[in-house]
A = this chain, B = another copy of it.
């Protein structure tokens, strides 16, 4: 942990307009609700006005519109959440790995491991694998033959990277993630499934973050590609041959992207959404939570397909009718027919 910073030091490093309290010492970030006098919180909008009034935080980050809504020492920023993230990075820098290969790790003699890299106890690094400067392989993680791990990339414990996959620089992979397993490629023949060996790889760009227990399958023939800056939450599944565009964030959790889907840049995907196979989503598409995307999307925008919940009795009553919508529409059509005839008669 670095020492505390004054509010003035923070503002001089990160910018923003400082109002009062340049000398206030800040040790850590905090929430409006629970922060103490040595913590800095952030105020995102009207919903939290009561919390802002009651907070015991030493300072807050506020948007311009709220610059005068508190007398606390404050920093005014156009993007308070991003500013708050940067303050937190300042106060909580990612630790540098202590260099070295643990005695209880297994590193193949043909692997090339940078002197500044770290391989923890129980980890296994395969033949011909490469670990860049300050690469960090967590306890028990598995790096397959021929895998390449870029500089400053961290694998938390229990990560599996299958053979020949490539991770860029500054990638973070959380525990339990599996990169490069065979995709679900099977050909049916005579009521049996014939496995398609997967000869493609997984290629992961710089600055990607991969959540706990997320799985990314290798390509069947060509590669599965995750471009730079993509953020994947926990328990996401990316099928074989997918391409996820730069800075896209399938967020929340449990999102599934089936095989051979292509997702554009700067997209977001809400929790538990599913994107079916062989579809293309253009740039700047936002998929809401709980939505199944079953056709390609060629126009930026927000798309939703979440079934509305209700108390169980109302749901049962309304939902039974979903199964009879076609009949209902026909009944309405039948009612319209005489009305149309009457209109015709009147007009004719």
Q: Which residues of A contact B (CB under 8 A)?
A: 28-31, 33-35, 41, 79, 81-82, 84-86, 88-89, 91-92, 94, 102, 104, 106, 120-122, 124, 138-140, 142, 156-158, 160, 162, 172, 174-176, 178, 181-182, 184-189, 191-197, 199, 209, 211-213, 215, 217, 221-222, 229, 231, 233-235, 237, 239, 247, 249, 251-254, 256, 258-259, 266, 271-272, 274, 276-277, 287-294, 301-312, 314-326, 328-329, 331-332, 335-336, 338-339
Contact = CB atoms under 8 A, between A and B. Distances in A.
A43 B315 CA distance: 32
A267 to B, nearest CB: 11
23 contacts: A41-B221, A85-B196, A88-B199, A121-B124, A124-B140, A160-B175, A160-B212, A186-B249, A192-B229, A195-B209, A233-B237, A237-B253, A239-B253, A252-B259, A253-B258, A256-B272, A272-B274, A292-B306, A304-B315, A306-B315, A318-B326, A328-B329, A335-B335
Given A139-B124, A322-B308, A160 B176 contact: yes
B289 A307 contact: no
Contact of A235 (B89, B122, B174, B215): B215
Given A35-B221, A89-B197, A140-B140, 5 more contacts: A33-B222, A121-B124, A301-B311, A304-B319, A322-B322
A108 B237 CA distance: 35
